[in-house]
Amino acid sequence: MRSVPIREVPTDPTSQVAIFANRQFPKEEAMYSEIQELLATKFSDFNVSDTHRNPYLDSRAPDITISRAGAPTIHPIYIHTLVELKRPEGQIDHSTLGQGLDQLYRLAKHQPWRHSFTMLVTNLTKNHFLQIRRARSGSMQFTEFVPVGFETAIDYLGQVLFNRDEQPELPSFSTELGTVERVLGSTKHSIVAEFEIQAIPHVALRKMPQEGRLTIAVKCSRNPGCLSTIAEEIELLRQLNETGGHQNVAKIVYFHPMKQEFGMEPVGEPALPSVFNSNQSLARDVCREILSAIIWLHERNIVHRDIRWDNIVLHEDSAVLIDFGTAIDIGKITCDVQYEGGYICCPPRLLCNLNALYRPQKSDDYHAYLLLLNSVLFPKSMVGFHSARIQVPTSNESKRLLDLWAELTKSLFWQTYVQAAVDGDIAVLKRLPEMIVMLRRETTFIHGASVGSEISGIEQQLGSLGLGVESSGSSICGAAEVGRG
């Protein structure tokens, strides 16, 4: 955390803001409507709302919310900034500031494309600005500004509202979809959100269910330069639909005629290795289903190229493989291509040079599948692991992933499956989910044994084959929250 000063503006005792700052309020509740009216007058280009009784922010109810003009509802994806109030005699302490910071982090979760989030915590006498900024790695940097007078605070709040880095994006989803239920994921190319629809818009590829409502995930291009990528994904998903589909592969529901958006089903919940680590039967079933989906795709010459937990969701306890934005039909490519999948599931042969052109192979998906199962055994190995740094060959993350593959290749247990991935030996790979459950039972017993107990041969075979941060592992149908994880 760092403390940053804000330049004070000249005071004018006769101004509306200065007069307001000297008012007394017997209770905090008396301030809400008054502050809302003041800010609505000062910032007429925005929607200023009293939301102290509206828990729209993940069960939190910010006192004042400033959102985009024309937004159809008060929803986190449309919010510019927040104002938290204390009456003039009330103290702004660490608890109050912590409450504001918690709201900022919740807001940032709903706007994963946005770089900066700033809010005001005020009792009219002391006015604190809190800010978090999103680094390229996805981590957040916190800044607390030096308290300022109320006139300066209102002036600076205006600067925040017009700051380019502080703008909520207004996703260009079709109006026929209605209101966004929640943002499911975002990359630099697209945004995915959940909608509950009563009619399928545009080019429908299935009928509405009899109950007349359908929950879908809609993927929309974030800029015109990405339309070709969205269009290619639409065509690939249509091709898969026409072959009958697979119960563990997302299905396209409709697409826009201009190929700027399309809808998918089902909408699932994040698949978390930490959950599978403690639920062995679920882990086995999910891993079997993922492999089944991969094999089905490969039978149709489709290589997914982005097999990682971020692109797998659970729907009614079944795994569903999602996000085909980088998938490719290897039967149609005639030359080497650029790798575009996630960093963590990069083919081992590309780790030293992610920018090299290469020819995608089915073994790439199988290699990524092995890492999925490895993370079930060592879920904490992904905590604090900044996968985006893998793109730098000299980074610690790149070295750790290379070392992991070297260890897996020579491990008494894993080497059989690494070779099966290379050979496309499906029969051997199909044995792995059950073996993972057996190994998990062994390692659970071993790690729970008393100090000084003898380590078994299974433990010696496994070693510590995680990514090396075991002491320190999401998204929903559509796109990974932070892009190339």
Beta bridge mates, 315: 318
CATH of the domain at 208: 3.30.200.20
Among 32-41, 53-62, 253-262, 458-467, the minimum mean pLDDT is found in 458-467
One domain, residues 400 and 255: no
Domain assignment present for residue 38? The answer is yes
CA distance 420 to 358: 21
CA distance 23 to 11: 16
Structure-token match 């916190």, residue found: 142
> Which pLDDT score, from 0 to 100, does residue 383 have?
66
pLDDT tens digit sequence for 89-113: 778 999 999 999 999 999 998 887 7
CA distance 314 to 304: 18
Among 14-23, 71-80, 313-322, the minimum mean pLDDT is found in 71-80
Structure-token match 């005699």, residue found: 89
Quick one: average pLDDT of 324-337?
A: 94
Q: Judge whether residue 227 has pLDDT over 90.
A: no
pLDDT tens digit sequence for 280-301: 889 999 999 999 999 999 999 9
Q: Judge whether residue 135 has pLDDT over 80.
A: yes
Q: Which of 230, 265, 300 is the last residue of a domain?
A: 265
Domain assignment present for residue 469? The answer is no
Tell me which amino acid residue 301 is: N
> Which pLDDT score, from 0 to 100, does residue 273 have?
84
One domain, residues 45 and 155: yes
Could you tell me the pLDDT band of residue 475, with boundaries at 50, 70 and 90?
A: very low
Report helix, strand or coil for 135. coil
Give the domain range for residue 53: 2-166
One domain, residues 275 and 424: yes
One domain, residues 372 and 430: yes
CA distance 69 to 182: 19
Q: Judge whether residue 478 has pLDDT over 70.
A: no
One domain, residues 159 and 223: no
Domain assignment present for residue 72? The answer is yes
> Which pLDDT score, from 0 to 100, does residue 428 have?
96
Domain assignment present for residue 31? The answer is yes
CA distance 100 to 352: 43
CA distance 23 to 37: 15
CA distance 413 to 304: 26
One domain, residues 156 and 222: no
One domain, residues 256 and 288: no
Could you tell me the pLDDT band of residue 467, with boundaries at 50, 70 and 90?
A: low
> Which pLDDT score, from 0 to 100, does residue 78 have?
86
pLDDT tens digit sequence for 337-347: 999 888 899 99
Quick one: average pLDDT of 271-278?
A: 84
Q: How many domains does the chain have?
A: 3
What order of strands is seen across the sheet that includes strand 64-68? 2-4, 140-145, 127-134, 116-122, 79-85, 64-68, 46-50
Beta bridge mates, 122: 85, 127
One domain, residues 160 and 80: yes
Average pLDDT, the chain: 86
> Which pLDDT score, from 0 to 100, does residue 470 have?
39
**Of 158, 154, 160, 161, nearest to 16 (Cα)?**
154
Pairing of strands 79-85, 116-122: parallel
Report helix, strand or coil for 363. helix
One domain, residues 320 and 196: no
> Which pLDDT score, from 0 to 100, does residue 485 have?
63
One domain, residues 258 and 281: no
Q: Which of 144, 166, 188 is the last residue of a domain?
A: 166
Could you tell me the pLDDT band of residue 155, with boundaries at 50, 70 and 90?
A: very high
CA distance 236 to 196: 24
Cβ atoms within 10 A of the Cβ of 254, count?
A: 22
Domain assignment present for residue 481? The answer is no
Cβ atoms of residues 272 and 474 within 8 Å:
yes
Q: Judge whether residue 229 has pLDDT over 60.
A: yes
CA dihedral 443, 447, 453, 457 (to 10 degrees): 20
Among 140-154, 155-169, 171-185, 370-384, the minimum mean pLDDT is found in 370-384
> Which pLDDT score, from 0 to 100, does residue 440 have?
59
Cβ atoms of residues 216 and 197 within 8 Å:
yes
CA distance 245 to 237: 9
Domain assignment present for residue 338? The answer is yes
Could you tell me the pLDDT band of residue 468, with boundaries at 50, 70 and 90?
A: low
CATH of the domain at 111: 3.90.1570
Query: Phi and psi for 383 in degrees, rounded to 5?
Result: -75, 125
Query: Which own/partner pairs from 455-460 qualify as long-range (CB within 8 Å, at least 24 positions apart)?
Result: 458/413, 460/412
Report helix, strand or coil for 336. coil
CATH of the domain at 405: 1.10.510.10
Q: Which of 4-8, 32-36, 458-462 is most confident?
A: 32-36
One domain, residues 249 and 291: no
Beta bridge mates, 46: 68
Domain assignment present for residue 51? The answer is yes
Q: What are the C-alpha distances in Å from 46 to residues 32, 299, 348? A: 17, 53, 50
Among 72-86, 238-252, 340-354, 458-472, the minimum mean pLDDT is found in 458-472
> Which pLDDT score, from 0 to 100, does residue 473 have?
31
Q: Which of 265, 295, 325 is the last residue of a domain?
A: 265
Tell me which amino acid residue 465 is: L
Domain assignment present for residue 485? The answer is no
One domain, residues 42 and 144: yes
Beta bridge mates, 249: 321
